[in-house]
Structure 1
Amino acid sequence: MDHLDKLAETQLYSLRTLKTPGIGRTVAKVLMVATGIFILFLFLPWQQNIRGTGSLTAFSPKNRPQMIESAIAGRITAWHISEGDFVTKGDTILTITEIKDKYFDPNLVPRMEEQLDAKKNSAAAKRNKVEALEKQIVALEKILVAKDAQAKNKLKQAVLKLEADSLNFMAEKVGNENASSVFERNKALYDAGNITLTKFQDIESKYQMSEAKVLKAENEWLQRKADLANAELELASIEATYADKISKAKSDLNGTISELNETLAEVSKMENELTNIRIRQSQYQIIAPQTGHVVKAIKMGIGETIKEGDAVVTILPESQDKAVEMYVKAMDIPLIETGKKVRVEFDGWPALQFAGWPSVSVGTFGGVVANVDRVQSYNGMFRILVKPDPEDDPWPDLLRLGSGIKGWVMLNNVPVWYEIWRQMNGFPPMIYEDGEPQTKEKKK
């Protein structure tokens, strides 16, 4: 027994020196507690979000900075404002003068008005001529109707007279034949001595009178035939003469109408030119289209020449219409829709942001997605417009358009471990309902 005690004291001394130190136990306990806390932390709720960057702008395009352009070419003669000035809609920004020799004449407008009046008078004269020719054509047509009716009546009378004289000529011929027969018989009787000379001479006289009547009736019949031909010729002549006169008048009318239309076209063109010149002269004063602040003068020197469409100054309209244009990745855009809540951090504004726990964030402001672009922007990302959240604190008034921002589109809550796993694998966020992942289509 003593021997064993001596052996333990000599050979097991190193074993007794290997006992666990107190500080090691403390570190182990701390690590165990930290591990437990970390495990608990992994099951804490984390609000998923989609990050993006962008700048402050105005939601309505009319309230964004705009460049004021000159509608005409000219030379700057006077500036009426300075950079940083506040201008009201209708204020004169600068004055320019003409540089095109076509518009140098100071009496250009009165001269064009005189030319326009002369051209209008010419158009009025042609219009009167058109009316006169129209009346002349109507009168000629009426005369033609009357003359045609008169000639037709005359032709009809000639036809009737020809028929009457023809019948009379036929009757005289029949009477002459009877008288000739009587004359021949009585001549034979006279030659035989059966009748006296006096009676024969009386019969001969009647025969000769019958011959004369036949000749007269024939002459009258021939005259009526000539009258009928003349009546037909006169009818054709009247129709041809007045058709020619009417055609000539209509030709003159069409020519005058054509000249009138050309003159009216010239009048319209001159009126257009005159209106353009008056408008051009009103463009010598470049006017502020909106109330706002003059940000920057693009053209500066007196005497500097500007072209049509050249920008001369930039104006920032006075408006409280603020919005954020934020750019997000294409893989995240299917999860963003109008009405989604957004947290916004403005550059230069003190903020402490915990994206997964917005309730403990400081210095950020609420927003709502108002629009999601349907096509990519120039940088290959998608742009969304965010308006202030009416249910959250208002955005600061001191913010300037163009300031940089960081934004987080807030989604639903997930465990921290899932978010870490998602980030490590590069997966897009998921929308959760009742702890179960849902696609956007299924959610709807």
Structure 2
Amino acid sequence: MPFVENLHTDTHPQSRRFRSLRMVQTPKAGRTLARWGATLGLLVFVAGFVPWTQNIRSQGRLTTLRPQDRPQTVPSTIGGRIQQWYVREGQLVKKGDTLVQIAEIKEKYFDPELLERTREQLEAKIASLRENAAKTVALGGQQTALRQGLQFSLSKARNKVSQARLKVQSDSAQVLAQRADFAIATRQQEAQENLYRQGLKSLTELEARRLKFQESQAKVQDVQNKLSISRQELTNAIIELQSLQAEYTDKISKSESDRRSATSYQFDTEGQIAKMRNELANLSIRAGYYFIQAPQDGYVVRALKEGQGEIVKEGEDIVTMMPSTPQLAAELYVKPMDIPLLRVGRQVRLQFDGWPALVFTGWPGTSFGTFGGTVAVIDNIDSQGQYRILVIPDSTQEAWPKPLRVGSGVYGWALLDDVPIWYELWRQLNGFPPDFVGEPEPEKKAGGKEKKADKGGSSEE
């Protein structure tokens, strides 16, 4: 048997003498291939237990985290004509630097002294308001004087009416006395006539008595006339009293009307003054819009209007600017299936366009040319079937390259859990999503317990 075993070896000299033995022995190439296959299988088996970092791949572009750091257009607040350019494309400007000067195209603003003339009109209106206020005060004093004069005139008229009443009473008494005296004179005359017919009185005595009768009758008529005059004077005094009230009421009403007109003019003037102040303020602000200034430090990217003398409309864009020191962020888009796996603060590896890189997605520590970042924003709504996330530089790792520009392409890998390679291959073949992991850093709850990631499914809430 030792001889037979030795014949199976290629080095034994007797093996060359037997053709059948040469046909059944194992070829040398086959044994070599078997050894390599066994070695490779062993390596694959061992490699299946090597840790692999699960990740979510996405791509996007560079943008900025803050809205004020993104490219912006500088519009013209007012319509006008481009008079002069103060910048060129690509120039670095500071906040407040003049970019463009424009001139007016509306005829109502052509006057170069419009601001000063409007200010003069405002001062004239204010002076007119002061004079009108003085007129209102004067009319108020006039009304006070009229009311006082009315009281004095009414008192005087009432006294005059009282005097007229007393005179009427006095004249009435005189009339009564004179009528009594006339009655006596009438009886004496009749008696004298009888005595004269009887011859007891002379004609001379009778004529003297008739004369006295005529005088008494004349006195009665005279006192009656005086009484009528006194009554007329009383009536006139009453009428004057009534007309005096009406006259002063008319004067006071006219003065009140003038005062109210002055007050109305005052309010109207105050409204005009407020309107003119508003117009003056608008003109002052508009004068500042003739020079379009840079809203912040940045670069003039592109002039949207060319040359001088070109007309720009109100609110029309003139130049595009890019802030000089933007806070860069990578704008990536993730599938809805992967979005529950992301949290704010999750680590991300990034590869930038134009930056050489050697990437091993499963072993981020061995990759070359990639940069670290953390998730800062996760949108709550989708954008064309995907969700947007914003990734900012990771302060604990190497800083992003300074030459990066907004808008350049970027590729990202959101780093998840570490699993064996065989598990990852099995997951990929079955189309399963990556494992759901918890927060990147455990958070302590009350009582000292920590929130840990559950590799099998959801995190402990």
Q: Please state which band the TM-score falls in when normalised by the shorter chain.
A: 0.7 to 0.9
Q: Match for 2:166: what amino acid?
A: A
Please give the secondary structure, in 2, of the residue aligned with 1:438. Answer: coil
- CA shift for structure 1 position 407: 0.8
Give the Cα–Cα distance (whole angstroms) in 1 for the partners of residues 54 and 457 of structure 2.
Answer: 14
- CA shift for structure 1 position 141: 0.9
User: CA 1:164–1:437 in structure 2 vs 1: closer, same or farther (change >3 Å)?
Assistant: farther
Give the Cα–Cα distance (whole angstroms) in 1 for the partners of residues 93 and 105 of structure 2.
Answer: 30
For residues 210-229 of structure 1, the C-alpha deviation after alignment (integer angstroms, 9 at most, x for no partner) is 66434423431332122211
Give the Cα–Cα distance (whole angstroms) in 1 for the partners of residues 156 and 288 of structure 2.
Answer: 71
Residue 336 (structure 1) aligns with = 342
Give the Cα–Cα distance (whole angstroms) in 1 for the partners of residues 321 and 232 of structure 2.
Answer: 106
For residues 164-189 of structure 1, the C-alpha deviation after alignment (integer angstroms, 9 at most, x for no partner) is 23433443454345445544555565
Please give the secondary structure, in 2, of the residue aligned with 1:348. Answer: coil
Give the Cα–Cα distance (whole angstroms) in 1 for the partners of residues 278 and 95 of structure 2.
Answer: 33
Residue 228 (structure 1) aligns with = 238
Please give the secondary structure, in 2, of the residue aligned with 1:109. Answer: coil
Runs of 5+ consecutive residues of structure 1 not aligned to the other structure: 1-12
Residue 361 (structure 1) aligns with = 367
Q: Is the 8 A contact 1:109 1:278 kept in 2?
A: no
> Residue 423 of structure 1 is aligned with which of 415, 428, 443?
428
> Residue 238 of structure 1 is aligned with which of 208, 226, 248?
248
User: CA 1:245–1:394 in structure 2 vs 1: closer, same or farther (change >3 Å)?
Assistant: closer
Q: Is the 8 A contact 1:333 1:382 kept in 2?
A: yes
Q: Which moved more, 1:203-212 or 1:131-140?
A: 203-212
Q: Is the 8 A contact 2:171 2:227 kept in 1?
A: yes
Runs of 5+ consecutive residues of structure 2 not aligned to the other structure: 1-18, 438-451
Identity %: 29
Please give the secondary structure, in 2, of the residue aligned with 1:374. Answer: coil
Q: Is the 8 A contact 1:338 1:371 kept in 2?
A: yes
2:133 is the counterpart of 1:131: yes
Q: Match for 1:47: what amino acid?
A: T
Q: Is the 8 A contact 1:414 1:435 kept in 2?
A: no
- CA shift for structure 1 position 58: 3.1
Give the Cα–Cα distance (whole angstroms) in 2 for the partners of residues 279 and 240 of structure 1.
Answer: 57
Q: Match for 1:144: what amino acid?
A: L
User: CA 1:42–1:191 in structure 2 vs 1: closer, same or farther (change >3 Å)?
Assistant: farther
Give the Cα–Cα distance (whole angstroms) in 1 for the partners of residues 106 and 180 of structure 2.
Answer: 109
Residue 150 (structure 2) aligns with = 148
User: CA 1:96–1:40 in structure 2 vs 1: closer, same or farther (change >3 Å)?
Assistant: same
Q: Match for 1:59: what amino acid?
A: L
Please give the secondary structure, in 2, of the residue aligned with 1:398. Answer: coil
User: CA 1:87–1:170 in structure 2 vs 1: closer, same or farther (change >3 Å)?
Assistant: closer
Q: Match for 2:81: what amino acid?
A: G
User: CA 1:251–1:209 in structure 2 vs 1: closer, same or farther (change >3 Å)?
Assistant: same
Q: Is the 8 A contact 1:46 1:415 kept in 2?
A: yes
User: CA 1:272–1:291 in structure 2 vs 1: closer, same or farther (change >3 Å)?
Assistant: closer
- CA shift for structure 1 position 389: 0.9
Q: Match for 1:64: what amino acid?
A: R
Please give the secondary structure, in 2, of the residue aligned with 1:400. Answer: coil
For residues 7-47 of structure 1, the C-alpha deviation after alignment (integer angstroms, 9 at most, x for no partner) is xxxxxx99997677676676566656655654554454433
**Which aligned pairs between 1:25-424 and structure 2 lie closer than 5 A?**
31=37, 34-35=40-41, 38-39=44-45, 41-71=47-77, 72-75=79-82, 80-81=87-88, 83-91=89-97, 93=99, 98=103, 100=105, 102=107, 108-110=111-113, 112-113=114-115, 115-116=117-118, 119-120=121-122, 122-124=124-126, 126-127=128-129, 129-176=131-178, 178-179=180-181, 182-183=184-185, 186=188, 189-190=191-192, 193=195, 204=213, 209=219, 212-247=222-257, 249-250=258-259, 253=262, 256-257=265-266, 260=269, 264=273, 267-268=276-277, 271=280, 274-275=283-284, 278-280=287-289, 282-283=290-291, 287-299=293-305, 302-303=307-308, 305=310, 307-308=312-313, 311=317, 313-319=319-325, 321-377=327-383, 379-424=384-429
User: CA 1:161–1:101 in structure 2 vs 1: closer, same or farther (change >3 Å)?
Assistant: closer
Give the Cα–Cα distance (whole angstroms) in 2 for the partners of residues 414 and 305 of structure 1.
Answer: 65
For residues 66-98 of structure 1, the C-alpha deviation after alignment (integer angstroms, 9 at most, x for no partner) is 4445555434655654x54444445555x5564
Give the Cα–Cα distance (whole angstroms) in 1 for the partners of residues 147 and 308 of structure 2.
Answer: 77
Q: Is the 8 A contact 2:115 2:284 kept in 1?
A: no
Please give the secondary structure, in 2, of the residue aligned with 1:52. Answer: strand
Q: Considering only aligned residues, what root-mean-square deviation do their CA atoms show, in Å?
A: 4.2
Please give the secondary structure, in 2, of the residue aligned with 1:401. Answer: coil
Q: Match for 1:327: what amino acid?
A: Y
Aligned length: 419
Give the Cα–Cα distance (whole angstroms) in 2 for the partners of residues 219 and 76 of structure 1.
Answer: 95
